[in-house]
Every structure is written in structure tokens, then in C-alpha cells.
Structure 1
């Protein structure tokens, strides 16, 4: 076997984040020589799911109080309850960039057409809730479930009859919002805040507006009408695609980190070479455009490659959007959040809770100006032991972001009968570059999206990089992208490697693509 330095690689990919890993998946049947490396000792990069030990090391690396050119993550801190003193590290798998995936997402279609979906266990995302603070200190805050289907609206007793009619009118409108007649209604308001459009065109009061805004999954209170309608339409049209009662799924064992690992596994089966704990020390400038790129690895080995693909998770842009995250492990299964709300629906493993602006108040009495979202994950996700849950809080970064997220955690625990918090990890994340960049045969993929739901536009840069590597000048080459036939014996090999699933996971049909 040739050594790394003796091989002329077709492509070297650095980083095992979701985008780099999906690129490796797309190239896994190409017959090209692929070297896939990562300076980390684990897969997933900015999309990784970490054990507590890994999280401890990760926090030390990203503890700086300000975003620098070294990482899109900063200000990481850990707080652990003294009781119990020692949590079993490998019993936890805490996701750095938690996103749900709508059932109509192009990502799911590509996982099906590439046959990678067979190695992933998808769990349903259940109810969406709006947090309602209490004006009486003696009465705990509450969570109000959002009705998002016709049946939900008719059956709920939380909304008066007249308001139901207004909400039903809006839901009917948004399901067909891009038709010619409906587009005439909203296009003149496209760049106005969605709240203004809801009040003027549908007479929705503040409470109903809070329900609608929660479905946008936007961290911006002033999300514009154009963007808000598109996301709500995606949510409503995704409802029931793979079964009743849910519009989105979440991959078991760490979300997008699991997708990245499965994609890398496919790359390895296709002949790719994988090396963790090895990054790039230096890229030697090409003397000629057509010459291979010379890359010095951190191990000291020099390799040559036709294409070099890098991520940009270590290159935040000045003034880039920033969000703050708080991950909390609590001593309760939070069973009330994961109840089946529709007959014959699978038991959900994820619930979504939205805090409208003003509903979170710090200890100093300062109210939140932007929404806060919480993903509640049961132990069925494989991210914590049975009897516990993981809460993922997110809001836009501001000077009081950490205090606001801590206040949101405290108020949610009060609403959920005050379980104990065992562990907290706080950090900030910047957006970085937003589009693919290339110079010669050196390609930089964009930084991960900060959206709370997977953004299919992420896939465009992967497709573009694939065409570069494949020299995609043929008109019909796109027909080959992420479309693979079963390998002989592949299903048996997959079954032998797959984890045993004891939860209610979603079966995605093979014709979903």
C-alpha cells in the first residue's frame, strides 16, 4: 500500500463537520482517491455531539470571552452541580449545534437516494409550546401547546371561537401562500414584520401572534413576512409526511453529528482514508495553476492533492451574527412534554418551547427583547441516561444573553415542577462566511447555519463543491448526484453495524427521495 505522501490524492477534505462529511458521501462512489482528516479526535466538527469529558476539553479550548479568528465558538463555561459529584461521561452525548429536520427537507431526500438513511434512526419532534409567565409569584408559569393543524385548532379550549376562525383563516392562507391570489395579499408587506401583517390582514391578537411566531423558529422578533410565511408553510406542509402528529425529525445519538458520522462511514466504505487528530499545518502555494496542491499535515507528513476542501468554522467574519446557547441536563424525564398528541403518532423524543420577547426576566429585573427557544430532548435521543432530559436553550447574543438563558432555565424548571439541574454548558457561536469560496483548486465551504431548523440552502454549497471535484461540465452530471444503487451485501453490513433501537423511531420509506 502506498504511503500518504506517495499517493496523489484527488481530494483532501479537512474537517468532519456536516458539510465536509456530506461531500465525502457524495464522492463515495466516484472511485476518486479521498483523504479525509480532522484535527479533532472526534467526528462532527462544529456539529459534534460530545461526552462530558470531550465537552470539558472543548470548553477549555473555547473559553475566550470574545470571538477571534481561531473559532466560531467562544465564551464557553461549564457549571456542574455538586450532587451527584461524578456523572458518567460516556452516558452523555451533548450536541453543539442542535437542529431539527423538517420531513420535507431535501436533506432527507438525499439521505434516502444515497442509501445512507438506513444507518440513521430518526425520532419524531412532537409538540410546540409557548411559555407563559405568571404575574403572581405564588402561581408557577405555564406552557401552552401550539395548535398547528385544523384538528388542533378545533379541539383546543385555550382559544375563543372567534379567534379560532381568524387562526383557521391564516392557516388556510399560509398553506397556499405562494399561489397567485394569496401572493398578491402579502407581497406588498413582504419586508414588513410578520406581526404587523398578522394583525392587519388576519386580526390576530398578541397571544395568537405568539403562537404563529413560534412556528417560524426565528430568533428575530421582527422576522419579515416573506421569511416567516415560507417557514410556517414548510412546517405545515411537513406535517404527516412520515406519519401523524409530527412535522420534523431528529437523528438519534446526537442529531446532525450522527448524520456526519454515517456520511463518513459511507466515505470509508467507498475507499476513503480517514485520520482523526490530524489537521493542516501549512498549504504550499502552487507554482502553477495545474499543479497539485501540496499540504503539510500537523503530523509532519506532506501530501499532494488535486483539490483541497476546507471548512470555515475557524474563520468568523467581523460583525457576523452571533447566538448564545445553554445546554442543561436535568434530573427528570419531563414526561409531560413528550406525550402523544395525535392518535397513532409515534412517541416524540423532542419538544420545542418558545419564549416570546419579554417573557424572560433576569434576576435584576431586565426583560428579554428577543425570543428564546428551547429544545427539550428525552433520554430516547441517546443523549442522556434514562430518567434525565437535556434542554438546549438558544437566543441572539446580547450583553445579558447568559443571564437571560439562565433565567429561562430557572423559569422552565419551575413550570415543570422544579427538577434539579445537574450540568450546564454555556457558549456563543458566530455565523462565519455564508457562501462557498474557491481559489484555483482550494475550496472553502461556508460556516454552519445558525438556524434552529436545518436549512436546505446548506446543501447547495456541497453540490457546488462536488461538481468542482467531479469536473462537472456534462449537462446530465447532476443526475448522478447523491443517487446510489445498493452495494452487494451492503444492507447486511449496515445491519451488523447499526445500534439497537428500543425507542419509537421513524421509518422513512425508500421512495421518499
Structure 2
């Protein structure tokens, strides 16, 4: 592209994460002159998706200290084939894979879906259904530990444990043949409550900070065996005793209220071809159509208040209150607003251990049909409850480990070739023990699923993701024209509060000219009308 030196912009946006990309779209389509830069040579920031080669290049950059501060301690392994069997499963070519660094579920009731529709960005995207949710039970005695469905409905059983299907609503509870009448009645009472829990504050207000399992037992007499599947629906990264009632209720309500919105039997979706990275790229493409200018591999060096004097003053120059920006290639631009991420989060730092594992099997038993006439599921959710896995078996009085969540993506996502699947694994336990726990969860899952031939690991990456600023963060500045987003969320489901933050920044920049946020006329319809 042409040199940027001396150019004057309305808004400079640093980083191509989901927050910055949606803001760029909203502003460019609202008539603002946008320069959108990213120090990385790829789109998506912390939500990026990579081919195998790109993942290895990214890992090398992080190890060299030249990439995102949001990630650390990355290692990639490719187990060698046993013997010289040419028929043994193997990896395909690099671009046959699109691996998401931070995959998230998007609930049908999410505001993100509404804005993707109102902005017409949805036309560049394809969404796939999230199917069954499973919870791991380490107890092999099926007679006393089946949580939902008949024993034949499980996907594996051995002395090591079993995966049990999580009820997806009242219909599942009614049809269950294993739960006794007392347990079924207690669960139904809770499900009736959760649908409109906001209007029943007297039931839970005093129990806000109480552990959610305690609330279930004391207020609704829900059996302990049913706590794990309900906790699974919260996607909480904390142990069960640290997951509060205040945290759990809105998340379970979100799940249940979303079921059936897009079709029977499921309530959440994932974007095809690499998670939320696809949304950021679609938003950036739409912003470019609206006049936004993009410069990947372009970082920001410094910010100063832009108050030109003497010969520099003219009608085109940004006036007092603007910002002069020096880019890392020594080019200088002027802009009225600069938007990026906080250099440090305002909340305590959180570190997740994550891994991405490519396996040699489609893991078909994890993807049963959702419902009659429902789409084929492309994602299954596996929850290992807190304390469900142990790293030091046989040693008494071990502290309860946090839960582990696995998103299993089928080849329908376009993230791997047919006959393979991708496991995205996450836990809030950090450090070496966190990585050990991830490995234990993958090993247990592959050993528990009843499928032949047994699945093997073809490739894996493990890394720490921190709730801290990526390298798209901004240097300190006292200017009121430098606005900062908090770092990207590490939540396993898309957080709608992100959209509130984007909308707030958009309104501040647009002022009285702000119309409806991310609501655009259909360009194709306009062309037809003109013709």
C-alpha cells in the first residue's frame, strides 16, 4: 500500500481482535475515515486461527518474545508413527487445518448474532450447531451413577469411567428412564425457576455468594448426582465450591433460553473455518468495503497530543485534542481518536492452560443426531467436573482440581480433514500441573469413547492464555482521545458485554451523529432500487 506518512485520519484502531474489528466496521460504515493497523501479520489477535505451519511460526515468535503477551509457554508435539506402517493415520497438508487459539460458543440469544444480521455481515459467515453436552463420571458403577438417559445412551464405559449426556431441558428430564421420581421432581422445580429467575429474587438473593451446589441442595433438594451436569452448563472454570449462585444462574438460563431458537435440540453455534477469527475477518472485509484502510504488520511506537503550529496549521490538520501517532516504521500520522487495548487489565490476571489436539478419528459417538430435522452437530462439549480427574492417584488429601472443558470439533467445521477431529481443551489450572491436567483429560476422553480403531493423537499444541493485553495494547496516554478496551475475554462462551463496550466507544466518537449501532441498509437492495 502507499505510504501513510503525514496522512490525517478520523480514527486509528490498533489490533484486529473482535472488539476492534466490530468497531472498525461500525465507524467506517458511519462515514469515518479509518486506519486499522495490527502489529501481527495476521487477523484476529487473540482469537486468531492458524494452519499447522502458521501455528509453528506463531509459537516461534512467542518464544522469541516478539508476539502476543496474551500467550506464553507454547509447545507443539507431533508423535512419531509406530513402526513403518504406511496405512497408519497421519496428518494432512498444513492448510487442511484451521486451528482456533481461543474458540468460543455463541448462544442463539447472543446480541452478537443480532448485530451480525443487522449489519449483513452474517452473509459472509456459516454457522454450525453445537450438539450434545457430556459430563464425565469417573465411577464405573452405572446403576448408581447414570445421570441422564438409559445406560445404552452413553458413549463409552470401562473401569475408567463413562461419559453421560447432560439434560438439555424439561423434555429430556421427562423422557429419562433412570432418574427416580423424587430426583426428577426436584430437577423440574429448578428448571421452572431458572426460566424466570430474575423475577424471583427472593429465592436466590440471599444466596448470591453461596456455592452453587449448596444452593441446589438447600433450596431445591437437587441430588448431588445432578450437580455436575448443571455446573457443566455454566462453563465455569472455577471449582464447584468456588462457582457462586450469582455466577451460575444467568449462564444456565442463557443456555436453556437459547435451546430451540435456531432449531430443535440445540442452543448454541460455532462459526465455520476457525471460530471467532472468521467473524473478525468478515467484519474487517466489510469495513474495507466501507472505506477502512488496513495495514497488517504495522505497530504503534508512540502517542503525542497533536497541536500543530505555524505553517503546519491548515483546514485538513487535526485540531487541538487530536493525537499524533508514530508507527514502528517511523511513519507519522495524525488522527482525532486512537483505539486499542489496555496495557494492563483492571481485574486480577487470570491464566488458562489450553491445548489443541488433532486426533485420527471422527469420534462419531460424540455426535448423535440432535433432534428430528435438526442440523448435524459439528461440536460436542465435554465437561470433566472439578475433582473428576486426579494427577496424583493414590495420594490422600489432594486438593480438588478445577474442571476441564473439551470442545470436540468435527471435520464439518473445515478445521481438519474428514476422518479426523480437533479437541480444544481448557482449564484454569496454570503451570505445569495445568498442562498435565489437559493431557490427562485428552487421554481419558480417547480411552472412554467406544470406537474402533482406537483414536490416536496426530498433533498437539499447548499454551497458556492470560487475561492480559496482547501486543495491540496502547502505551500510556493522558489524552481523552485515546480510548482503550479491556483485554480479550478468555470465557468459553462469547461475552455480550464486549458489544456494550464497543457500542459505548462508537457512541463517544460519533456523538450526536450516532444512529443505530451496527444497523446498515442492505447494499444489494440499494443497487437493485437504483437499477
Query: What is the 5 A alignment of 1:143-182?
Result: 143-179=163-199, 182=200
Does structure 1 residue 358 correspond to structure 2 residue 387?
yes
Query: What is the 5 A alignment of 1:280-319?
Result: 280-286=300-306, 290-312=320-342, 315=344, 319=348
- Verify the 8 A CA contact 2:356 2:425 in the aligned structure 1: yes
Aligned partners of 2:393, 2:323: CA distance in 1, in Å?
56
Q: Secondary structure at the match of 1:459?
A: helix
Deviations 1:241-261 (A, max 9, x none): 111111111111111100000
Aligned partners of 1:129, 1:47: CA distance in 2, in Å?
25
Partner of 2:404: 372
- Verify the 8 A CA contact 2:11 2:35 in the aligned structure 1: yes
Partner of 1:480: 516
Aligned partners of 1:34, 1:195: CA distance in 2, in Å?
49
Question: Pick from 261, 264, 285: which aligns with 1:244?
Answer: 264
Question: Mean Cα displacement is larger for which, 402-411 or 158-167?
Answer: 158-167
- Verify the 8 A CA contact 1:141 1:414 in the aligned structure 2: no
Partner of 1:71: 69
Does structure 1 residue 426 correspond to structure 2 residue 462?
yes
Question: Pick from 347, 353, 362: which aligns with 1:333?
Answer: 362
Question: Mean Cα displacement is larger for which, 184-193 or 427-436?
Answer: 427-436
Query: What is the 5 A alignment of 1:407-446?
Result: 407-417=440-450, 418-432=454-468, 439-446=479-486
Partner of 1:213: 231
Partner of 1:33: 33
Question: Mean Cα displacement is larger for which, 118-127 or 55-64?
Answer: 55-64
Question: Pick from 170, 175, 193: which aligns with 2:211?
Answer: 193
- Verify the 8 A CA contact 1:72 1:316 in the aligned structure 2: no
- Verify the 8 A CA contact 1:70 1:315 in the aligned structure 2: no
Where structure 2 has 5 or more consecutive residues not aligned to the other structure, the ranges are 82-88, 142-156, 309-318
Aligned partners of 2:58, 2:67: CA distance in 1, in Å?
17
- Verify the 8 A CA contact 1:72 1:315 in the aligned structure 2: no
- Verify the 8 A CA contact 1:329 1:424 in the aligned structure 2: yes
- Verify the 8 A CA contact 1:39 1:276 in the aligned structure 2: yes
Partner of 1:323: 352
Aligned partners of 1:217, 1:128: CA distance in 2, in Å?
11
Q: Secondary structure at the match of 1:27?
A: helix
Change (3 A) 1:358 1:397: closer
Partner of 1:495: none
Largest Rg, 1 or 2: 2
Aligned partners of 2:327, 2:374: CA distance in 1, in Å?
50
Question: Mean Cα displacement is larger for which, 453-462 or 299-308?
Answer: 299-308
Partner of 2:159: 139
Deviations 1:33-61 (A, max 9, x none): 11111111111010001111111122123
- Verify the 8 A CA contact 1:359 1:367 in the aligned structure 2: no
Deviations 1:7-39 (A, max 9, x none): 310011111111110001111312211111111
Aligned partners of 1:447, 1:490: CA distance in 2, in Å?
38
- Verify the 8 A CA contact 1:317 1:432 in the aligned structure 2: no
Partner of 2:58: 58
Aligned partners of 1:158, 1:7: CA distance in 2, in Å?
69
Aligned partners of 2:91, 2:421: CA distance in 1, in Å?
17
Tell me the C-alpha RMSD between the 2 structures: 2.7
Change (3 A) 1:217 1:339: same
Where structure 1 has 5 or more consecutive residues not aligned to the other structure, the ranges are 493-513
User: TM-score under structure 1 normalisation?
Assistant: 0.88
Change (3 A) 1:172 1:433: farther
Change (3 A) 1:321 1:176: same
- Verify the 8 A CA contact 2:234 2:248 in the aligned structure 1: yes
